[in-house]
């Protein structure tokens, strides 16, 4: 039980931001709370709790000898997952991105299938025959809170859904779920390939030439998970063969270099890691819930498993 103990919390963020101020007010007066940027002069010797974006937390965690818990403001925690241990809890922001990711995925699918981008630029009568989502098969790599939000909308659009996760366990909403080791069977005959996978050694280049060649002709690939999942050279090759379009939000190197071949492909759409903006109210709500749990010695929500990396 830590609820009677004064805890020293550091929030890495804009001190003028409403969500930072709200957490700071909520913690006072029992606990010490500082809001700062990584460039500020900060005494880290007594920090017990950290809250911020993973890349910034990665710089600070090794400098905090008393740190017990680090809460990420992102779902992806690959930058800090290596710090998770029996003595340091690392938690991710989850359960809040399903809506925005669903909007992104189906917004792009409908735009591409119904030629909305072409119609929007028309300067004359163009009786283009649009295609449809009806009767298509979607494969979703990653069946967590984001991936499992997609099948309900897919069904309404006439799309059959397959899932892929580490062990093939059944997930509600999916017609069938495959284990990662059976990824090629999972990919066979897919019209849409959607990746919402986290970045772990097990997901490195899981979307490669072997997998891509099993997709249907005119397939669409969308990656909103992490960039490590895609072997870029293999996807470039598939874009010249059976993949009609790729919608890519994430990359192994970000920002994507200006000379990268993806920028030159007319059938690649790049959205610069904007698919799901972190809702500040969700950060506040989860931090409050986890802080209460932490102070009472209870299990934290969305705790990173050191062995799995997420």
Q: What would the two tokens of residue 238 be? A: 């598939």
Question: If you ran DSSP here, which 8-state letter would residue 298 be given?
Answer: P
Cis omega (within 30 of 0) for bond into 206: no
Q: What would the two tokens of residue 255 be? A: 């920002």
Q: What would the two tokens of residue 96 be? A: 């809040």
- Pairing outcome for strands 243-248 and 219-223: parallel
**Cβ neighbours, 10 Å, residue 223:** 23
Closest CA to 293 of 58, 40, 71: 71
Spot the catalytic one: 31, 176, 273, 293: 273
Spot the catalytic one: 226, 231, 244, 260: 226
Is 205 known to be catalytic?
A: no
**Whole-number Å distance between alpha carbons of 12 and 60:** 10
Is 244 known to be catalytic?
A: no
The contacts of residue 83 (CB under 8 Å, 6+ apart) are 58, 61, 70, 90
Active site residues: 226, 273
């Amino acid at each position: 039980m830590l609820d009677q103990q004064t805890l020293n919390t550091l929030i890495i963020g804009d001190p003028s931001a409403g969500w930072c101020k709200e957490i700071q007010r909520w913690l006072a007066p029992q606990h010490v709370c500082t809001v700062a940027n990584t460039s500020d002069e900060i005494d880290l010797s007594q920090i017990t709790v950290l809250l911020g974006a993973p890349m910034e937390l990665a710089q600070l965690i090794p400098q905090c000898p008393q740190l017990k818990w680090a809460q990420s403001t992102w779902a992806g925690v690959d930058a800090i997952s290596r710090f998770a241990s029996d003595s340091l809890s690392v938690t991710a922001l989850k359960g809040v991105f399903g809506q925005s990711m669903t909007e992104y995925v189906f917004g792009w699918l409908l735009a591409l299938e119904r030629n909305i981008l072409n119609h929007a630029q028309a300067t004359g009568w163009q009786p283009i025959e649009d295609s449809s989502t009806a009767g298509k098969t979607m494969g979703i790599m990653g069946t967590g809170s984001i991936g499992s939000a997609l099948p309900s909308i897919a069904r309404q659009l006439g799309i059959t859904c397959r899932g892929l996760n580490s062990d093939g366990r059944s997930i509600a909403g999916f017609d069938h779920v495959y284990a990662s080791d059976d990824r090629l069977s999972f990919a066979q005959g897919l019209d849409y390939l959607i990746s919402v996978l986290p970045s772990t050694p097990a997901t490195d280049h899981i979307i490669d030439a072997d997998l891509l060649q099993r997709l249907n002709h005119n397939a669409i690939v969308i990656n909103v998970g992490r960039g490590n999942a895609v072997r870029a050279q293999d996807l470039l090759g598939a874009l010249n063969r059976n993949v009609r379009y790729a919608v890519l939000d994430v990359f192994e190197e970000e920002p994507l270099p200006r000379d990268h071949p993806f920028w030159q492909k007319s059938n690649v759409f790049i959205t610069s890691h904007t698919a799901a903006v972190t809702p500040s109210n969700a950060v506040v709500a989860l931090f409050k819930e986890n802080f209460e749990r932490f102070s009472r010695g209870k299990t934290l929500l969305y705790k990173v498993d050191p062995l799995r990396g997420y």
